[in-house]
Amino acid sequence: MLSEFDFEVKHKPGVDNEMDYLSRFPQQSSADWAGVRQEGDLEEAGALAWSAAACLSWQPGEQPEGEQGLGPGTGVQPPVDVWEDQGLLAVLRGEGLPAGCSPREWDRLHHRARGYEWRQDHLVRRLASGEARVVPRPAVRAQLVRDLHERAGHMGVRKTVSLLRPHYWWVGLSAEVEHAVRGCEACDRVRATFNAKHPALHPLPIRGLFYWWGLDFAGPLPKSVRGNQYVLVLVEHFSKTVVLAPTVDKEPASTVAAVFTREVLTRYGACAKAVTDRGGEFGGEFQACLDAALIDHRATSAYHPQANGLSERIVQVVKRALRKWCLGHPAEEWHLYLPWIAMGYNFSAQHSLAGFSPYQLLHGREPVVPGAIKVRVEESLDLDDEARLVALVEERAALFKKWVPMAMGNLEIAQHRDTLRYAKTRSGAWKPQVVRYEVGDYVYLQREMVDTLDTRAGARILRVRSVGGNGVLELEGADARTVRVHVERCAPCHRADVDGRVDPSAWVDERWRIASQTGSKVCPCCGHGLRRGWVVRLACP
C-alpha cells in the first residue's frame, strides 16, 4: 500500500524529540485500566491530568474512576461513583454482563471489578494489602459521618477519619468528614474562644508503657440524676489511654483509692509513678494505696497545674465534649456520655503516637466501633484451632515489636518540638495571632455561663455592620436591629450555612421563654435586649 505514495524516511534521534506531557507527567490513578499495576491503590491525584492508560481506555460518555475533574470550562466531568456504575454492580452481584455490552465496555468492567466484590448485600473494596473496606451508598454517607462524629465525642477531622478508614472506603471520604465537622453547630460553638492563653510546658521523661499515670478531677459539674458532680480522669502517659470515672465528690480520699484500684491496679497492674496535684483528695487512703503497691507519688508544685499537663488537657477534652452533648440533651444526664467520650479518645489515632491509637498500642489490633457504623466482614475466630491461635499471637507480637518503638520515637520528637515552641513563645520573637473583623463577618456573642457544662457562645449569630476605631463593633441581626459590642466579647462564626437575609418582621419577643429556662430576664446572648440574631437556614421555625 505504501508503494502508491512517494515518501522519504528521516531518522530523528530521541534526544531531539519534544517532551510529551502524558508520558513525562502521568496521572496517579486509583484504577488499573491496563491491568499491569503491581502496587496498591493511590487515592489522591498528583497532577491535574489524566493518566495515559485511562485515556486509552476512555470512550465518550464516561470518565475513568478516581480521576479528579479539572474544573468548569475544561469539558471534563466528575468521576462516576461506583454505586452509579450499574454494569459493574450487575457483574459483582453475579447477574452477568449488561445486554449489548461492547468488548471495550466488557474490558472496562473486568478491570474495575478487580478492586471490588459483593458480600452479604454490601459492596466491599479490596485493597492491595488484602484488607477489605465497605463502600456505603452515597445517600447514607453524610448521615454515617454525622452519627460517628456525634457518638464518638465530637472529635476533629483527623480523629473522625481515623475511625472511619479501617472499616469504610469511598472517593472523597476525607472531604466528606471535613464538611460534616466544620458544619457541626455544637463543635463550632464550643470551640469559640474569646481570649488567648499561653500554655506552659513541663514535659515528663518518657519511660515506657504503664510507667506514668496521671490523675485529676474535672468539676464541679451539674449534679447528675445519680448524684455525681465530678469526673476522675486517669491517663497513661505513654499510650495516652484514658479512663473516666464519675464520682459523687472529690473527697474523701477513699473515693480516689477505690477508683484507682478498680480501674488501674487490678486491670493494668502497678505503675512506677503517679502524678497528681496537691489536692487533699490525693492523700490519706490514696497515699496508703500507693505505698502498699510501691508506687512513687509525685505531686505538682502549688498553683502550677501545668506540671500535670496531660491530665489537665484530658480534663478540657472531657468538659468540651460534655458541653457539646449538653446542647441537645439534659445536663443532669451527662454521666451517660462519659463512656462514649473515652471510646472516642482511646479508639482514635494520636498524632504524638505516630498515628496509632491508644487501643492499638494496648491490644495490637484495630478497634471495633460499636453501633451501626461498623459492618463485620471478617471471618470469626475458632478458639479450638490451635494453629490459628498461635498465628494470631505471633502476628500481635510482631505488631507490638514494630509499633512500640515507632510510638516511642515519635513521642520524643513531639516532646522536643513542643519544648522548642514553648521557648519561642516566651522569647519575644513570637507574636500571637490577632483576630480582625471585617464588615459582613458573622460572629457569636459572649454570654454568662449558667453552669460548667454551658457554652459561652450564644445560639444567635449576628453580622458585623461596621467596625469602630476603638474596638467597638456594630452588629446587625436578622430583624434589622443593631447592637454595639466590644470586640473582646465576640467570637468568629465559621459556619457556611448562615441565612443572611434581613426581615424586620422576624423579631419575636422571647423574654418569658428565656426567663423560664435560665431564671434571668437579661438576654444571655448580648445583655442589651432579648432580640433574635441571625438564624441558620432550616434551623429555626
List the pLDDT tens digit at each of the 541 positions of the chain: 566 667 778 887 776 766 555 555 555 555 555 555 544 444 443 333 344 444 434 444 444 444 444 344 444 343 477 888 777 888 788 777 777 777 887 787 788 888 888 888 888 888 888 888 888 988 899 999 999 999 988 999 999 999 998 889 888 899 999 999 998 999 998 888 876 555 556 677 778 888 889 999 988 898 888 889 999 999 998 888 899 999 988 877 788 899 999 999 999 888 888 988 888 888 888 889 999 999 889 888 776 667 778 888 889 899 999 988 888 888 888 888 898 999 888 888 887 777 788 888 888 778 877 764 555 545 565 666 677 767 777 777 777 777 777 777 777 777 777 777 777 777 666 777 778 888 888 888 888 877 778 888 888 888 888 888 788 888 888 777 888 888 888 888 888 888 777 766 655 444 434 444 444 444 444 444 433 344 333 333 2
Say what the pLDDT of residue 144 is: 92
What are the boundaries of each domain within the chain?
136-190, 212-363, 442-518
| Helix or strand holding residue 475 (H, E) | strand 472-476
| Helix or strand holding residue 112 (H, E) | helix 103-112
Q: How far is CA 382 from CA 130, 301, 385, 468, 478, in A?
A: 21, 53, 6, 72, 63
66 neighbors 31 (Cβ within 8 angstroms): yes
Say what the pLDDT of residue 72 is: 41
Say what the pLDDT of residue 23 is: 56
Choices 1.10.8, 3.30.420, 3.30.70, 2.30.30: CATH for 442-518: 2.30.30
What does the buried/exposed string (b/e) look like for 172-211 if buried means 16 or more CB atoms within 10 Å of the residue's CB?
ebeebbbebbebbebbbbbbbeeeeeeeebebbebeebbe
| Longest CA–CA separation in the chain, Å | 108
Amino acid at 273: K
Say what the pLDDT of residue 249 is: 86
Say what the pLDDT of residue 56 is: 39
**C-alpha grid cell for residue 219?**
468539676
Angle value at C-alpha 485, between 457 and 477, nearest 5 degrees: 70
Among all chains, which residue has been given the C-alpha cell 471495550? 104
Architecture of domain 212-363: 2-Layer Sandwich (3.30)
Q: Are strands 296-299 and 273-276 parallel, antiparallel or unpaired?
A: parallel
Model-level pTM?
0.57
